[in-house]
Each structure stands twice: as C-alpha cells, then as structure tokens.
Structure 1
C-alpha cells in the first residue's frame, strides 16, 4: 500500500499562486526573483535597441494584461540617483514599457549586484540578440 502524501495547507488561492506577501517571499527565496517597484528602475543609459510600437507593443500589452509579466526582467543594482532610482534596466525594456502602459507598479526581476559597465552591457546586448 502506498504511503499517503501530505496535503499542503493553503489559506487562499493567492497563496497558491504566490500572490500573497507570504507567497512573494517564498518565490523570492526559492527562485532569486524579486519584485521591484517600477519607479525605482531607470532605463539603461545607452540602450542600443528600439522599443516596440504599434501592433507588437499592443500584443505585449494584451499578453501582460491577460497573464502578467511571465519572464522576469534583469536589473543591475546601483546607487540611488537624483530620481531615487536604485536599479538599472538591463533586459526587459519592452516588458517594463508595456507594464507601465497598463499601470502596473512592480515587476518581477532578477537583480544583479556589483556588475561593471562592461558586464552590464554584455547582458543588454546578449539577451537582445537571442
């Protein structure tokens, strides 16, 4: 006879989907993904690519509206600037743009610390070439 598996005790659907504060903390702990306020993120200073517009932007906005931001952005931790931004966008400029158009206040993010400018540029370029 097979042993009974323990049944997880969830207090709400938000906890199951990691939408509660406790669920967010579990997600951050287990995956390294953090939730970062959009107003704390500045665009990469010399981003070499153009942002989506037209139908492509509309499709991304529609997808995020239906499903949320499915792929975390990659940010570099920086010292706070004059606008109190303490993160710099390396990948995910279009996701952030679409999220802002929807009025979202936060993004799921992988935050890299202590990156040189050269390392940061590598993230920007390499992730946009794929």
Structure 2
C-alpha cells in the first residue's frame, strides 16, 4: 500500500516533502511547543548540557515548525528549542512547513519513534495515537515503523498496566 505522505519510507521522506519553505531565523518566543508531542519527560541534565552546547556553538540543526495563528508551532526539535530558550538565544534557525494537524502529529511521532529514546510508555502511547488517528491496525503500523506486529502489541499492552506500575 503506497503512502503519499512518506510514512514507512523513513523520516527523510516525510521531512523532504515539497511543501518545505526556506530556512528562517525565528524569534524563540514566537514558537510554541506541539501539544501532541509524544515526549512527556525532558531530562533536565541533558537539556542543560544541550543548552551549554547551544550557547557555545549555536543551534546546528534547524527546528521544523508550522505557522499557527500569529506564531509558530513546533513539529520537530522541541529539545533544541528548549535548549535555545535556556541558553538565552533570541532567535533559532527554523524551517517552516505547511502541514496539517494530522501530518504534524505523524511527523512528530515518527521522528521520536525513529530516535529510539522514548521511554516504553511514551512509545506505547505514540503507537496508540498512530493507530487511533490514522485508523490503522497493528499490522499496518508495524509496516510503517519497521517493527513486527507482536512488538507493537506488546507495547500497547503496557498501557493496560495499572498507572502505578507504568
């Protein structure tokens, strides 16, 4: 089954879509976090380390944002954006993309899943969100993210554990 948006062909296929605009320097304060960001916990120690690197060398890889109202919303790069704020930067390099709510969620979830540093519950929640939002069955999701169906099923089962165990 072909996917015109690029999911299943890797993050590069999603991010290299033809609706990419040019690189811009945006005010850090004009950008807001994506409320659908799958990462819920940000390690303050590693964030401070990243902010120190940003303070010394700047932001080396632009964030990806989309225009929302009078400002911008992050699609990819919340750790870099947070580090830039901590470092006191006023501007951050950004690529502005024209993407729908659904595409923004898709890109954010897949980008985080491919990095493999979500905790198991965050990964399970990301899988559940993709299943729900895109109406996929576990087999389709497994194909899109390059995992076997049983791995997806096991992650989803984690969400049935009592909250205190999660």
Q: What is the CA-CA distance between 1:123 and the residue it aligns to?
A: 1.5
**Matched residue, 1:92:** 77
**Greater Cα radius of gyration, structure 1 or 2:** 1
In the alignment, the residues of structure 1 paired with residue 78 and residue 36 of structure 2 have an alpha-carbon distance, to the nearest angstrom, of 12
**Matched residue, 2:42:** 52
Residues 51 and 93 in structure 1, CA contact (< 8 A), matched pair in contact too? no
Query: Which 4+ runs in 1 deviate beyond 3 A?
Result: none
Residues 38 and 112 in structure 2, CA contact (< 8 A), matched pair in contact too? no
TM-score by length of 2: 0.52
The Cα offsets for residues 43-87 of structure 1, whole Å up to 9 and x where unpaired, read as 11221203532331122112111211000000011222xxxxx11
**Matched residue, 2:112:** 128
In angstroms, what is the RMSD of aligned CA positions? 1.6
Q: How many residues align?
A: 94
Higher helix share: 2
> Structure 1 regions of 5+ residues with no counterpart?
1-30, 81-85
1:39 aligned to which of 29, 44, 51: 29
